[in-house]
């Protein structure tokens, strides 16, 4: 084999002339070898553009070709044929469940949806009446750790399972509770006769009817949206989960931190921002001026662009496909036409083309959520429910890998050593 064909990279420190040849394995090189050759010289990579923080077997994302697979299964097949709870099992365990495993898992999730009454009466009711449900959710997930102090025992796999189960079961309950309390409506208790997505819709919308009967098209659409959000490898919130988990914090505290990371408009908060943007644009006629303002750097086209995808986000394609089915039931979202036109113009525009900016998952989800009558401040909450199994799978994987505490280096560019100056001399 010629030198050029070797799957290695050679690093030479020109100060000393020393070299090290490092194998390229699974598309990565082991940074330890760099460290051995040049201790004290750090890779400067703000935002982790070229840094792989871990090996992982959970989600395979090929951003150049627009491919997303959970444990090897294409997202398109899972969205078409699976359910959210089955996908949770797959992400957490690596394999699709057989019938018995599926029955046990669904039973365990269904029977752990209730929340301690103190959470509702004393905790949730303490928020200001117009509190954002994401702020409430972040706090409520963190507060769960105080109800389950045994969660600290992260080394015991059975105990881990119990906490994972609780977090997946209870997040929709907390989410619906946050919404109901924000509009002054009484809390709706979980209904064990309903599926995961149906139960969430029931807790959101039930009024006085004995049993809430969700429209099957809408509960299926919600289930698909949850599947599409279930994992996305080392994104900002999942990285947060792994980083906080690496200090061996309990899973509720780690998941609360991940939820907080998701809240931001550059991440899970983008779906809410897309609707604000479409409303501000208001009509077809205003689209060219809006595009010009984005190109002039006056704002971003929300729901476009992605750190990893340099092609059409496969999730956005699936969401777009489901939008029509939802709109048949709910009536068309009037903002859809503006979104479609915006996409059409942006995809033809050199600014967006040259930067590989395509619609991401958030571009169309907000339109569906809005048509389903979710208020805008619940959009990111829905994302959190979907992403919970992804966060937990990564948390568990990191523990099983025996990962070290996350502690990056920095390149210090501040002042050199100097003497303290007394106040009177400043």
User: Active-site residues: which are they?
Assistant: 267, 306, 362
Residue showing the smallest CB distance to ligand CMC in the complex: 305
Helix axes 236-245, 379-400, angle to 10 degrees: 40
- The stretch near ligand CMC (CB under 6 A) out of 5-13, 56-64, 214-222, 358-366 is 358-366
Smaller CB separation from ligand CMC, 38 or 376 = 376
- The stretch near ligand CMC (CB under 6 A) out of 25-33, 68-76, 88-96, 266-274 is 266-274
CB of 316 to ligand CMC, least distance (A): 9
Provide the token pair at 303.
Answer: 């729901």
- The stretch near ligand CMC (CB under 6 A) out of 53-61, 180-188, 360-368, 417-425 is 360-368
- Which residues, numbered 282-321, are part of the site for ligand CMC (CB under 6 A)? 294, 300-307
- The stretch near ligand CMC (CB under 6 A) out of 55-63, 158-166, 245-253, 352-360 is 352-360
Provide the token pair at 12.
Answer: 């030479």
CA distance 424 to 60: 60
Q: Are 181 and 187 in contact (CB under 8 A)?
A: yes
Q: Alpha-carbon Rg of the chain, whole angstroms?
A: 24
CB of 47 to ligand CMC, least distance (A): 6
Smaller CB separation from ligand CMC, 323 or 361 = 361
Smaller CB separation from ligand CMC, 206 or 306 = 306
- Which phi and psi (to 5°) does residue 189 adopt? -75, 150
Strand partners, 61: 68
CB of 382 to ligand CMC, least distance (A): 13
**Contacting ligand CMC (CB under 6 A), which of 165, 235, 370, 393?**
235
CB of 346 to ligand CMC, least distance (A): 9
Residue 384 near ligand CMC by CB under 6 A: no
Q: Are 197 and 372 in contact (CB under 8 A)?
A: no
Smaller CB separation from ligand CMC, 172 or 303 = 303
- Which residues, numbered 6-65, are part of the site for ligand CMC (CB under 6 A)? 47
Q: How many helices (H) and strands (E) does the chain have?
A: 18, 6
CB of 273 to ligand CMC, least distance (A): 7
CB of 363 to ligand CMC, least distance (A): 7
Place of tokens 């599409």: 228
Q: Are 49 and 239 in contact (CB under 8 A)?
A: no
**Contacting ligand CMC (CB under 6 A), which of 112, 267, 317, 341?**
267
- Vertex 177, ends 194 and 145: CA angle to 5°? 100
Residue 361 near ligand CMC by CB under 6 A: yes
Provide the token pair at 154.
Answer: 């992260």
Burial pattern 238-268, b for ≥16 Cβ within 10 A else e, equals bbbbbbbbbeebbbbbbbbbbbbbbbebebb
Residue of 368, 325, 323, 364 whose CA lies nearest to 343: 364
Interface residues with ligand CMC (CB under 6 A)? 47, 232, 235, 266-268, 270, 294, 300-307, 355, 357, 360-362
């Amino acid at each position: 084999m010629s030198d050029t064909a070797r799957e290695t990279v050679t690093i030479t420190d020109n100060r000393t002339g020393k070299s090290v040849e490092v194998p390229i394995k699974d598309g990565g090189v082991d940074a330890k070898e760099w460290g051995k050759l040049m201790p004290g010289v750090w890779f400067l990579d703000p935002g982790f553009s070229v840094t792989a923080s871990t090996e992982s077997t959970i989600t395979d994302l090929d951003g150049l070709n627009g491919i997303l697979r959970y444990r090897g299964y294409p997202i398109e097949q899972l969205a078409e044929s699976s359910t959210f709870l089955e996908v949770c099992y797959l992400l957490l365990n690596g394999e699709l469940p057989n019938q018995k495993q599926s029955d046990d898992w669904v039973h365990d999730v269904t029977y752990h949806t209730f929340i301690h009454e103190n959470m509702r009466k004393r905790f949730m009711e303490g928020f200001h009446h117009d509190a954002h449900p994401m702020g409430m959710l972040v706090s409520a997930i963190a507060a769960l750790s105080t109800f389950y102090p045994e969660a600290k025992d992260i080394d015991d796999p059975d105990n881990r399972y119990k906490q994972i189960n609780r977090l997946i079961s209870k997040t929709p309950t907390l989410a619906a509770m946050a919404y109901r309390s924000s509009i002054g409506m009484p809390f709706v208790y979980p209904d064990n006769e309903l599926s995961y997505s149906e139960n969430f819709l029931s807790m959101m919308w039930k009024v006085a009817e004995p049993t809430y009967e969700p429209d099957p098209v809408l509960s299926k659409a919600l289930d698909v949206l949850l599947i599409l959000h279930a994992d996305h490898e080392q994104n900002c919130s999942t990285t947060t989960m792994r980083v906080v988990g690496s200090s061996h914090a309990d899973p509720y505290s780690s998941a609360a931190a991940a939820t907080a990371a998701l809240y931001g408009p550059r991440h899970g908060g983008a779906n809410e921002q897309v609707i604000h943007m479409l409303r501000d644009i208001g009509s077809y006629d205003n689209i060219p001026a809006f595009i010009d303002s984005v190109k002039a750097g006056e704002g971003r086209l929300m729901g476009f662009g992605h750190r990893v995808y340099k092609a059409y986000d496969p999730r956005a394609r699936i969401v777009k496909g489901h939008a029509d089915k939802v709109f048949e039931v709910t009536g068309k979202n009037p903002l859809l036409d503006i979104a479609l036109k915006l996409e059409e113009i942006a995809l033809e525009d050199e600014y967006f083309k040259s930067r590989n900016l395509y619609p991401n998952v958030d571009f169309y989800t907000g339109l569906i959520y809005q048509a389903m009558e979710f208020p805008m401040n619940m959009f990111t909450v829905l994302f959190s429910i979907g992403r919970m199994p992804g966060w937990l799978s990564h948390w568990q994987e990191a523990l099983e890998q025996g990962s070290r505490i996350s502690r990056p280096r920095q390149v210090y560019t501040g002042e050199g050593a100097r003497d303290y100056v007394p106040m009177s001399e400043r």
